[in-house]
Chains A and B, each alone.
Chain A
Amino acid sequence: MSPEYSGELRKKIEEVVARYPKKEAALLPVLHLVQNEVGFISPEEEKFVARVLGIKPMRVREVVSFYTMISPQPLGRYHVQACQNLSCHLAGSENLIDYLKSKLGIGVGETTPDKKFTLSTVECLGACEQAPCMMVNFDYYGQLDKDRIDQILDRLA
């Protein structure tokens, strides 16, 4: 069964594609749009995107499998992405990642059974002055410690 996509999504895709001198340049922007609506990019979505842009599904797969922000699997409602790069590491991110694991009861790369949280580690979010930091979906949080993580996640729970 082919997935249903909203008219709004199709309209947005059309607008984005029209702005580029070549259709295939809209591939990442379109993947972002589809992922925003569907939550992830499955082989069905890959085929849809390929059709829209007039390229082979294989081309889409190559790109989906290259970029870390395009997810081939469903994610939790809140995607917690803890930075583990150097400035955050110096500021104690390793302990905080352990804390996140025990608090959420999952390992890195896993999703809670209620599909609410996915935990990932990431390499430098470009907010090193606020280390240690993390992103929840697209929101940045810095100067983290256990209390602040509690505050942030408990508000979402």
Chain B
Amino acid sequence: MDDKVLTKGFDLKGLFEIEAYLQNGGYKAVEKALLGMTPSAVLEEVKKASLRGRGGAGFPAGVKWSFVPQNVDTPKYLCVNADEGEPGTFKDRYIMSHNPHLLLEGAIIASYAVGIHLALIYIRGEYEAVARRLENAITQAGERGYLGKNILGTGFDLEIIVHRGAGAYICGEETALLESIEGKRAYPRLKPPFPASVGLFQSPTVINNVETLSNVPFIILNGGEWFVEKGLPKDGGTRIFGVSGMVKKPGIYELPLGTNLRKIIFEYAGGMREGKELKAVIPGGMSAPVLKGDEIDLAMDFDSLARANSMLGSAAIIVIDKETPIFEVLKTVTRFYAHESCGQCTPCRIGTSWIDKIVQRIGQGKGEEDDLDTIIRLASNILGKTLCPLGDAAALPILSLCRKFRGELEGYLPR
């Protein structure tokens, strides 16, 4: 597969060790950027690449970096979002465990472009083995002069800390992540001000997802135009799709943005498991509204999925088979959001747990005639009424399940 960029070297043995990484062209991008380019030239190249955030929101990375004020007295920070909590998503775990130096390279180049001297990788606590691998990579990079003081003799300093989370989905929301690093409950902040101007410890902060940053070394080596050609004009590069659920070959598939969803499921992921038929697909992590089995002839990019009233999100594809009752999906979704709502905003705190209680009651055979309408009303009242996107992330999939599979779900209610 020539289209691979990020995962190309994943089958190389021991790539996570710096010797193997260097033998395969590692740290060449850092050398090119720090020794041959000005920070603003790096920024321009990343802007030209139309690199959009891989965490879910899809905000252009270069634009995000350019929002950081240049001449300030306070320190600036980079936070790498490695919280990866969106159900169905496991791509960042692959990047960090197979190729931790690639992420470090991306973080070094981003920090150089923005003028940052401390980067924190916020990694979910469950990824302890991955965190250790990152720490090992950081030590190795420091020994070779790619991290620490006076990197490659350029006078540029950068330290990277691996910061372990402790089990809270909300920490993947960027301002919640900042609060968490500051040693607090991860309650999202009101925006604006945006983290680029007021972020960690009230200082300008860049927050990027693991996969986003891992693309940066390739952009520096091959140019922004090359990167755009790998994807779409407004959406450069490849995307790592994580496929799970009832397919023959669950796993990660790095493909050009815009690859057809049906093709991903039926060709790359091997199609449905023996004897299973397709019922529905969640195309972008649990927060993404569900697609029915006949709605999957879609290009997997931000705009096409938005037009289909769903979202690309973290590009995590969960494939649901006909034998699985949609009620089971609804039950899992509502329980998850009721558990993970941080509790700060009333519509989300009360709404998610109220819906969850109704769904549990239906599960006990005590459904009432108007339950579905009540769920739809409650979910609609969460939409757009919370500080952070978690409220919408809960409401949208619940609404889509209730509307698209209303007939099936009504079977659980008295007539």
Contacts and interface: CB of A to CB of B under 8 A. Distances in A.
Interface of A: 19-22, 24-29, 31-32, 53, 55, 59, 62-63, 66-70, 84-87, 89-91, 122-131, 135, 138-140
Interface string B167-211: 111000000000011111110000000000000010000000000
A101 B393 CA distance: 32
B336 A85 contact: yes
B183 A69 contact: no
Contact of A87 (B75, B92, B166, B245): B245
A86 B163 contact: no
Interface in B315-331: 316, 318, 320-321, 324, 328-329
Nearest to B162: A29
A86 B88 contact: yes
Interface of B: 75, 84-90, 92-93, 118, 124-129, 159, 161, 163-169, 180-186, 201, 242-246, 250-252, 282, 286, 316, 318, 320-321, 324, 328-329, 332-333, 335-336, 339-340, 342
A32 B161 contact: no
Contact of A129 (B129, B161, B164, B250): B250
Contacts of A68: 166-168
A72 B316 CA distance: 33
A60 to B, nearest CB: 9
B164 A28 contact: yes
20 contacts: A28-B163, A28-B165, A31-B166, A32-B164, A32-B166, A63-B183, A69-B167, A85-B87, A86-B336, A89-B332, A90-B245, A123-B169, A124-B85, A124-B86, A124-B88, A127-B90, A127-B93, A128-B244, A128-B245, A129-B250
Contact of B166 (A21, A62, A70, A129): A70
B212 to A, nearest CB: 17
Contacts of A24: 182-183
B386 to A, nearest CB: 18
Given A66-B168, A87-B87, A124-B286, 17 more contacts: A21-B201, A22-B182, A22-B201, A25-B201, A26-B183, A28-B165, A28-B180, A68-B166, A69-B165, A85-B87, A86-B318, A87-B244, A87-B318, A90-B321, A126-B92, A128-B242, A129-B244
B124 A126 contact: yes
A140 B128 CA distance: 10
A53 B182 CA distance: 12
B245 A28 contact: no
A87 B282 CA distance: 11
B126 A69 contact: yes
A84 B333 CA distance: 11
